[in-house]
Structure 1
Amino acid sequence: MRISTVTMFEQSVSSLNRQQSDFTAVGQQIASGRRVVNPSDDPQAASQAVGVAQSISITEQYTDSRVSARNALSQEESVLNSASQAISSAKTLLVQAANGTLSDADRQSAASELEGMYNTLLGQANATDGNGSYLFGGYQDDAPPFVQDPNGDVSYIGDSNSREERIDASRLMAVADSGDAIFNSVPSGAGYVATAARDPSGDGNVTFTGPSRLDATAPGYGEDAYQINFLDDSSYEVVTTAPDGTTSTGPAQGYTTGQTVELGGGALSITLEGTPDPAGGDSIEVNPADGAGANQDVFATLKSAIDVLKTPVDGDPGRQADLENTIATSMRELDNSLDNVLTVRASVGARLNELDVVDQVSNNRMLSYEQTRSDLVDLDYVEAISEYSLRQVGLQAAQKSFTDIQGMSLFDQL
């Protein structure tokens, strides 16, 4: 068989190119640190690596979402902490204002201080997240959720929704709470709140202490509302209102100052002191704290306290009774509002703790993904360096063979 010079050169060049290509490919692997530089190097591994890379990208997106959620919840927790301190300070001030030795001027001073706390709390309820969005407006976060009318009454104009973020594939977390649920609500089972309604044209000066819980297992506890109606200065009747609105009136009973009245068949008790108006018309309502008939608005509570502290009472037993009853009611309502704020704050803290747990799980998942991707496409340097040395020897051998072959000629034998 005759081999032409052209054929010999073509085969030698092809061998050189193949050896050079293999040598360069291994060099690229070592330089990049990856076994699969191009999809053609290992199509199956490259395909699986794309899926793992997508999973890593999704996990990173959830990580960014958790950072945003943690920032929002941390801001809310800080505001709720300030709000709880403001409510506690207001309650402390009311305890001082209830001192019977204070003069009208002293109470005016206390009212001024309470107004400062009121404005502070209103500012906290309208706090923003630093980007112009209001924390407690629900989905309507482009305007202050709490607005004050010319009469000083505060109303909530946000919605009842809570903004949520998906922090993981299977977890949608609330990152902000509705202001209505924080400042206009009380925790379930907060008990009862009493309010007095005195006939302003009469001479009554009844005050109350309580109500106190006697038996929370009694039928209707936490659902029924009660109203003590004074028929004259020595008798009263109790009207019970069921949740469906039906009422039942008990028989008239005798009244003496300092008397303890049991309500709901022994579920509650309230202590009454003072003298009702002889013509009747005075009453005391006892409503479930989380019921429709009770005030759950912390701003309305503070406004009522401020108004009564500004009213002169020296020398007027009726107004003195109004002062004592309003402060007693306000303190019970502030207790419930504080409990509610602390409950929401505890919920925020629990969500922050959950974010830490989800972060830990996500970090473990990322390590697993990275290990899987490394196993698929990353380079084994020991094996690659050995292959590199082998390819280098092969390339050098091909170059040497080509040099020797191209120098062969029959004329050298003549």
Structure 2
Amino acid sequence: MRISTLTIYEQSMSSLNRQQGSLMQVSQQIASGRRVVNPSDDPQAASQAVQVSQALAINSQYADARIGARNALAQEESVLNSVSDAIGSARTLILQASTDTLSDADRASIASELRGIYETVIGQANATDGNGRYLFGGYQDSSEPFVRDASGNVNYVGDGNNRAVRVDASRLMPVADNGEDIFRSVHSGAGYVMEAAAGNQGSVVFKGPQVVDDNDPAYGTAFDITFSVSGGVTSYSVNGGAVQAYEPGETIRFGGLSVTLDGIPADGDSLQLDRAENMNTDLFRTFEKALTVLESPSATDAATAARKNTLSSVLREFDNSLDNVLTTRASVGARMNELDVVDSVSGNRSLNYEEKLSGLVDLDYVSAIAEYSLRQVGLQAAQQAFIDIKGLSLFDRM
């Protein structure tokens, strides 16, 4: 077979180019520290590396979201801590005001202090985060969730939704609770609350109610104690049942509850008992009830009884509101703890992704340096072969 000089030169140049290309590829790998510099180096590894890199980036985005969620929950926890302290202080003032030895002026002074706490709680309910959004307005976070109407009553104008952030692929976490659930609700385990009818004319006062048998068939229903006075004899009935004689200072039982009654009721006076969720659950309304009776003089026995009964109800309502705030605060703490767990799991996941990515595209320097030396030898051999072949000419023999 005849091989032309041109063919020899072309094949030699092609061999040199291949050896130079291989040497350059290994040089790029060593310089970059990556085995897969171009997708063509290992198409399958390059494709898997893209998927792993995307998963790693998404995991990093969730980590950033958790930072924001933790900050939001920390702000809410701080506000709820202040609110629970305020309710505790208000409860202490109500206990002081319940003392019979205080004058109207003393109670007015307590009312002034209580009003300051009331305004503080309203301010906390309208707290904002670092971005100017209101914490407890639900999705309506661009304006104050609690506003006063023309009568001075505090109304909730937010919604019942809770803002949430996706902190992991499978976890959408609430990062704020709405004001309806915090300031206008009670804990599901709250018991009974008792109130005196607004139109009572007598001086009957109550203590309780206390639960004595929650297995009673009637336990959990509402009760209405109605008094009647006829012929100088005072009696009462519960929910229109049997009429029984009334004696001041006695403890009566019904529906698994016990209530101690004192004072002299007027004909037609009544007391109502119901589960807390069916009575007043508005923390601000509780403040307003307390302020109204503390700022009003007790000129008659009926007014004194109304004050005592209202303060007794207010204490129960403050207790229920405090339990509700503390329950929400515990939920916030649980979510913050969950974020720590998710952070730990996410950190392990990121480490696994990075290890997998390293296994796909990172360079084994020992093998690469050995390959680099081999390519150098190959290039040098190709160069020497070309020099030798170039010298094979008949003209050199003539």
Structure-2-length-normalised TM-score? 0.95
Match of 2:252 in 1: 261
- CA distance in 1 between partners of 2:198 and 2:129 (Å): 45
Change over 3 Å in CA distance of 1:163–1:238 after alignment to 2: farther
Per-residue deviation at 1:236?
3.5
- CA distance in 1 between partners of 2:320 and 2:293 (Å): 20
Q: Is the 8 A contact 1:118 1:302 kept in 2?
A: yes
Match of 1:228 in 2: 225
Match of 1:356 in 2: 340
Instruction: Provide, for residues 125-164 of structure 1, a one-character-per-residue CA deviation record: whole Å limited to 9, x for no partner.
Output: 1111121221111111121111111322111111111122
Match of 1:340 in 2: 324
What amino acid is the match of 1:273? D
What amino acid is the match of 2:234? S
Q: Is the 8 A contact 2:66 2:339 kept in 1?
A: yes
What amino acid is the match of 2:254? L
Match of 2:6 in 1: 6
Match of 1:207 in 2: 205
- CA distance in 1 between partners of 2:234 and 2:161 (Å): 48
Match of 1:395 in 2: 379
Match of 1:188 in 2: 188
Per-residue deviation at 1:199?
3.4
- CA distance in 2 between partners of 1:93 and 1:355 (Å): 38
Unaligned runs of 5+ in 2: none
Where in structure 2 are the equivalents of 1:139-288 lying within 5 Å?
139-197=139-197, 199=199, 202=201, 204-222=202-220, 224-232=221-229, 234-240=233-239, 249-264=240-255, 267-277=256-266, 280-288=267-275
Match of 1:79 in 2: 79
The answer on 1:20 being equivalent to 2:20 is yes
Which deviates more, 142-151 or 402-411? 402-411
Match of 1:243 in 2: none
Instruction: Provide, for residues 88-120 of structure 1, a one-character-per-residue CA deviation record: whole Å limited to 9, x for no partner.
Output: 111011111112222211111111111111111
Aligned length: 396
Per-residue deviation at 1:184?
0.7
What amino acid is the match of 2:4? S
RMSD across aligned C-alpha pairs, in angstroms? 1.7
- CA distance in 1 between partners of 2:378 and 2:45 (Å): 28
Per-residue deviation at 1:413?
4.8
Specify the SS of the correspondent of 2:186.
Answer: coil
- CA distance in 2 between partners of 1:393 and 1:110 (Å): 97
What amino acid is the match of 1:400? Q
Match of 2:97 in 1: 97
Give 2:352's match in structure 1, choosing from 331, 344, 368.
368
Unaligned runs of 5+ in 1: 241-248
Per-residue deviation at 1:409?
4.8
Give 2:287's match in structure 1, choosing from 302, 311, 322.
302
Q: Is the 8 A contact 1:19 1:394 kept in 2?
A: yes
Specify the SS of the correspondent of 1:290.
Answer: helix
What amino acid is the match of 2:113? E
Per-residue deviation at 1:410?
4.7
- CA distance in 1 between partners of 2:110 and 2:188 (Å): 31
Q: Is the 8 A contact 1:237 1:250 kept in 2?
A: no
- CA distance in 1 between partners of 2:307 and 2:317 (Å): 15
Q: Is the 8 A contact 2:183 2:282 kept in 1?
A: yes
Per-residue deviation at 1:412?
4.7
What amino acid is the match of 1:211? P
What amino acid is the match of 2:246? Y
Specify the SS of the correspondent of 2:277.
Answer: coil
Q: Is the 8 A contact 1:189 1:290 kept in 2?
A: no
Which deviates more, 68-77 or 398-407? 398-407
- CA distance in 2 between partners of 1:251 and 1:98 (Å): 33
- CA distance in 1 between partners of 2:388 and 2:98 (Å): 114
Percentage of pairs with the same residue: 60
Structure-1-length-normalised TM-score? 0.91
Q: Is the 8 A contact 2:236 2:246 kept in 1?
A: no
